[in-house]
Amino acid sequence: MNKTITLGIIIGNRDFFPDSLVEKARNEILDVFKKLNLKAVLLDTTDTKLGGVETFTDAQKCAELFK
């Protein structure tokens, strides 16, 4: 039996790190997951700024997604 492994990903940012690092981390993580045939559950780039979690509101959106 071949099961797909699904993992939740939270890309956090404290707003003083450059946005480019959030975008780069997101792309790198998704590339690795694809190579390993893992399914990723994470905020979309349209859900929050770059799909990262910076604020309490962002965290609430992520929690709702992970339900």
Task: Evaluate whether 53 touches 12 at the Cβ level (below 8 Å).
Answer: yes
pTM strictly above 0.95: no
Domain ranges (residues) in the chain: 6-66
C-alpha–C-alpha distance, residues 64 and 67, integer Å: 5
Grade residue 1 by pLDDT with cuts at 50, 70 and 90: low
Region 7-18: mean pLDDT is 89
Enumerate the β-bridge partners of residue 6. Answer: 39
Grade residue 32 by pLDDT with cuts at 50, 70 and 90: very high
C-alpha–C-alpha distance, residues 65 and 21, integer Å: 23
Sign of the CA dihedral with 46 first, then 37, 59, and 23 last: negative
Going by C-beta distance under 8 Å and a sequence separation of 6 or more, which residues neighbour residue 6? 38, 39, 40, 41
